Structure 1
Amino acid sequence: MEFVCLLVVLAVFFFVYRQTSSRSGSGGLLSLLVWGIVICLLASIYNTGDKIFQNKLLGEIYEKVQSGISNEQVGFRKARDGHFYVDIVVSGVKLKCLVDTGASDTVLSQKDAIRLGVDPRTLNYSKEYNTANGKIRAAPVILRDVYLRSYYLPYLEVSVSGVREQERSLLGMSFLKHFDFFIKKDVLFLLQK
């Protein structure tokens, strides 16, 4: 968006310069400079005003969620990388997971499995998944006492990834099916069914 704005500003500069330079010699350059400053200021005010409005709106949504006015749903802001991350607690261990609505199952990274006391070397990797990066194998396990803030699941069937390099655990539809969810203004809202 900023690139498009820059192109528009340059096009206006060129147009104004051509119009004024043919009429008044050196006065055209001064006029061009004034117009450029005015356009940059207007673009900056517009861009800043939009961000202020978005932050104010998101702040109001978060206040409502945090204050208990909407105690049935929780919101998670989109991260800078464009993804949503959710912290869950499993048997007292906090895991930061990537929300993946395209994944049918919840898949733990091997690092997170180890943190939960599961040894990936002893598992039976009997499941196969087709992913964007090709096929992977995974081992089914059952997690006990799963919390997402105040929401509680007594157990959750998940898989442990057979890919050692997988850095982040994925919260797929096997977890999300317990919630109604929607995204509004870069905030993911979850409401337990």
Structure 2
Amino acid sequence: MTEDQNINLVFAIGALVLVASALFSRRIGFGEIVRNILAWVAIFAVFIVGFSYQREILAVWSQVSGEMTGANEQLVVGDTLRIRQSADGHFWVDAKVNALPVRFLIDSGATTTAMTMRTAQNAGIDISKSPIPVILTTANGSVEAQRGTIQSLQIGPMVAQDLPVVVAEEFGDSNVIGMNFLSKLGSWRVEGPEMVLEPPTRAPAG
């Protein structure tokens, strides 16, 4: 357990002791006391889980709500794409991978764009048949991934061709835009609650 989870557990136990003391001080049947204690245990369990994993819950909610409503909080202004920060504190974007709609988390800390195995297969990604996997270090430990190539990745008005990608089942439901895409842009930056992506500067016609 993390330090925050330990603190939450101590708090919950203390609160349950107080609730139990209050119930036993009342002259009610033992069966009703047990039912009340179980109800409070359930309430505190929900509270602890919600507080301890609030970032993960918000991330899942952001992804699911975006897919259900189709509202990704992104706006194309000319050749520029502006993306509003989601409730989980991250920037999510709706893209097209080989014409397949895919929702991505933009992560400037990721070196390479990453996709789940199921999404990559659905998008027809060219996945390497090499028996030697790529070993990646993630927040959840080491992950074995395969190299692949996205023939066409479109985000707003910007398109990247033949973009390297890593693919693994262990990525769960998260697809990530990494620096190998961001570095192809003319610029990218965060302005307050928005991320701004700008296309490469076109060379003047000669």
Shorter-chain TM-score bucket reads 0.5 to 0.7
> In the alignment, what sits opposite 2:197?
190
Alignment deviations for residues 41-95 of structure 1 (CA, whole Å, 9 cap, x no partner): xxxxxxxxxxxxxxxxxxxxx9xx64x4xx2321001111111111111211011
> In the alignment, what sits opposite 1:34?
none
> In the alignment, what sits opposite 2:120?
113
Stretches of 4+ aligned residues off by more than 2 angstroms: 117-120, 122-125
Q: Which residues of 2 match residues 70-89 of structure 1 at below 5 A?
A: 71-89=78-96
1:151 maps to which of 138, 143, 158:
158
Q: Specify the code of the residue in structure 2 equivalent to 1:170.
A: V
For the residue of structure 2 that corresponds to 1:174, the secondary structure is helix
- Per-residue deviation at 1:161? 1.8
1:119/1:183 Cα in 2 relative to 1: closer, same or farther (>3 Å)? closer
> In the alignment, what sits opposite 1:4?
none
> In the alignment, what sits opposite 2:183?
177
5+ residue gaps in structure 2?
1-72, 201-206
> In the alignment, what sits opposite 1:98?
105
Alignment deviations for residues 162-191 of structure 1 (CA, whole Å, 9 cap, x no partner): 41x611101111111112111112101001
Identity of aligned residues (%): 23
> In the alignment, what sits opposite 1:46?
none
8 Å CA contact 2:188–2:195 kept in 1: the answer is yes
Q: Distance in 2 between matches of 1:145 and 1:106?
A: 13
> In the alignment, what sits opposite 1:7?
none
For the residue of structure 1 that corresponds to 2:118, the secondary structure is helix
Larger Rg: 1
User: Normalised by the size of structure 2, how large is the TM-score?
Assistant: 0.55
User: Over aligned residue pairs, what C-alpha RMSD do you find?
Assistant: 2.6
- Per-residue deviation at 1:114? 2.5
Q: Distance in 1 between matches of 2:118 and 2:196?
A: 27
5+ residue gaps in structure 1?
1-61
User: Normalised by the size of structure 1, how large is the TM-score?
Assistant: 0.58
